[in-house]
Chain A
Amino acid sequence: MRTLLVWLAGGLALVGSSQVALARGWNMPVGVTDLSGEIYSLHMIIFWICVVIGVVVFGVMFYSLFRYRHSQGAKAANFHENTTVEIIWTTVPLLILVGMAVPATATLQKIYDPSDAELDVMITGQQWRWRYEYLGEDVAFNSNLATPRAQIRGEEERGEHYLLEVDEPLVLPINRKVRFLFTSDDVLHAWWVPELAVKQDTVPGFVTENWVQINEPGIYRGQCAELCGVDHGFMPVVVHAVEEDEFDAWLVERQEMAAEEAMGVDRDWEMDELMERGEGVYGSICASCHQPEGQGAPPAFPALAGNEELIAGIEWHKDVVINGVSGTAMPAFRTTLNPVELAAVITYTRNAWGNDTGDAVQPAEIAERLAQ
């Protein structure tokens, strides 16, 4: 049914009707911030201006095509210039554009005012996930695509939020001005949530900023909007906007979780525990490049399964995971994963897929190395 509608709309829109385009899911969302609403109305104003100009121009054109058909014996007139008309059709568009520039400028000025923010969130793009750090709050986490690969391959029924779901959404309070700082660990990415009307490139080595103040609680979904490599289509953004007290409680909970995790560093971990944890970390962080079975995708992404260098050099292995390799897609995970996760994923990759080194790397050892 919806397909039929698209067909119809394609046809209708061609003859100048735009009513269908206003239906939900066909147009830009009004969004849930004051600015997204302003941007929506700018969009609609310029859209209707175009429609009106289009109706006039195409009206005259199709009238001429019909009225002055050679086959109906039309005789051509002999005029080929008219300065008055030309001046009119130059100045009228000019005035319309000036009229359009005024509200656009006003909106832009508001967008460029990040002052008086109550919360700062640093958003880092990384191939292919987002990292969120609540500055000064000791809360930071990675946000990965949660859609199972089986759904992408079509082996499972696709869920309602196919490709637009993550393991850890960005949680934000409503009614508070939140400042975003954007940067990237590798290539360009762009963080975009249509309902928030925020789209900002993340540039490696540079910091850009933007802000939101959300009016309504809800779950808002978006995607990376700048080509960033193989999994560009698989790094969604999900924002949970919650009531302010709910947000404060969430923040405390996250801080406690982080503290609990930090305590886990000191105890001795069993091999099974490390492997289980490591498999999870590998699946969400490493598998997109090194592939689920560790087979890699050379030349860009080397295989881990049966990698002799990895099997022979435990110190080298730790070094690569913690510090990354410059000039390649391998980032430094020293700050983006905690010692438990680092130890677990190193252990996992040393023992999975027939690597079987038998090495169990303890979180305490990694923590010590990081604290030197």
Chain B
Amino acid sequence: MTQSDREIRQAGVRRTIWRSVAALVGMFAFAFALVPLYDVFCRVTGINGAVDTTAQSIVHEEVDESRMVTVQFITRNGSGLPWRMEVETRQVRMHPGQTTEVHFTFSNQSGGESWGRAVPGVSPATATRHVRKVSCFCFEEQKLQAGERLELPLVFQLARDLPPEVNTVTLVYTLYPVEGKSEPLQTAGAQNKEGEEA
């Protein structure tokens, strides 16, 4: 094999390496790009029941009085937040196109201030896009002082084009502490770090 043959080969090898490295970097970036892409995809299609975290505006459309849909509200507590969360009514019956307001009560039962976040979910997932939330406590993190009580509204419209097979929509809110903002435990906990891994 002559010297020039070898150089031709080396040039080819080098080109292959650069292309491979470019592909690698691209794919690594792609993996991270998938996180926001998945998020956007889910919000557009509503496939995982995750809802928009920003307020939408009411669309003025005729109320479809021929259909009656049950909307259920479920509140759940994640671990680590000494709050009670309650909803004034467990379910409402409404027509597609209608707008409704429901009140949720939050109370901090501990001796210190803490931050919480209510993570929303919708079932069935196909209904997600058709629940337009105008105002929701779930859009932002909440702060409660020791013993404080807070009543917050959820205002939403059920879109008229709700798929016909859906006649029950369930809205679920799971309350989680905001990491780093809440004191995890208020009393004896501070003395012994071990216990926090309980």
Contact = CB atoms under 8 A, between A and B. Distances in A.
Interface of A: 113-117, 120, 122, 124, 135-136, 179, 181, 183, 185, 204-209, 299-302, 307-310, 312-313, 315-316, 319-320, 322-328, 330-332, 334-335, 369-370, 372
Interface of A is mostly: loop
8 contacts: A208-B49, A208-B125, A323-B110, A326-B179, A327-B179, A330-B198, A370-B84, A372-B107
Contact of A335 (B77, B82, B124, B176): B77
B189 A326 contact: no
Contact of B79 (A124, A315, A330): A330
B82 A322 contact: yes
A117 B161 CA distance: 21
A135 B89 CA distance: 12
B168 A117 contact: yes
A122 to B, nearest CB: 7
Contacts of A208: 49, 123, 125
Closest 9 CB pairs between A and B?
A313-B188, A324-B79, A326-B80, A316-B188, A207-B123, A316-B187, A309-B192, A309-B195, A207-B121
B81 interface: yes
Contacts of A309: 188-189, 191-192, 194-195
A326 B179 CA distance: 8
Contacts of B72: 120, 135-136
A312 B188 contact: yes
Given A120-B168, A313-B187, A316-B188, A369 B80 contact: no
Given A205-B121, A372-B107, 15 more contacts: A120-B72, A135-B72, A181-B172, A206-B48, A302-B195, A302-B198, A312-B191, A313-B191, A316-B187, A319-B110, A319-B187, A320-B198, A323-B80, A330-B198, A335-B77
A179 B169 CA distance: 12
A335 B77 CA distance: 8
B79 A326 contact: yes
B168 A320 contact: no
Contacts of B194: 302, 309
Contacts of B123: 181, 207-209
Given A113-B165, A205-B121, A332 B188 contact: no
B74 interface: yes
Contacts of A372: 84, 107, 109, 147
Given A113-B165, A328-B198, A205 B80 contact: no
Nearest to A308: B192
B109 A369 contact: yes
Contact of B81 (A136, A316, A326, A369): A326
A324 B176 CA distance: 11
B91 interface: yes
A320 B74 CA distance: 23
Interface string B180-194: 000011111101101
Contacts of B79: 185, 323-326, 328, 330-332
A114 B166 CA distance: 8
Contact of A207 (B167, B172, B186): B172
B119 A179 contact: no
A303 to B, nearest CB: 9
A251 B23 CA distance: 61
B153 interface: no
Contacts of B196: 325, 328
B166 A115 contact: yes
Given A302-B197, A309-B188, A323 B81 contact: yes
A370 B48 CA distance: 32
Interface string B28-68: 00000000000000000000111000000000000000000
B170 interface: yes
A206 B173 CA distance: 9
A326 B177 contact: yes
Contact of B185 (A185, A312, A320, A334): A320
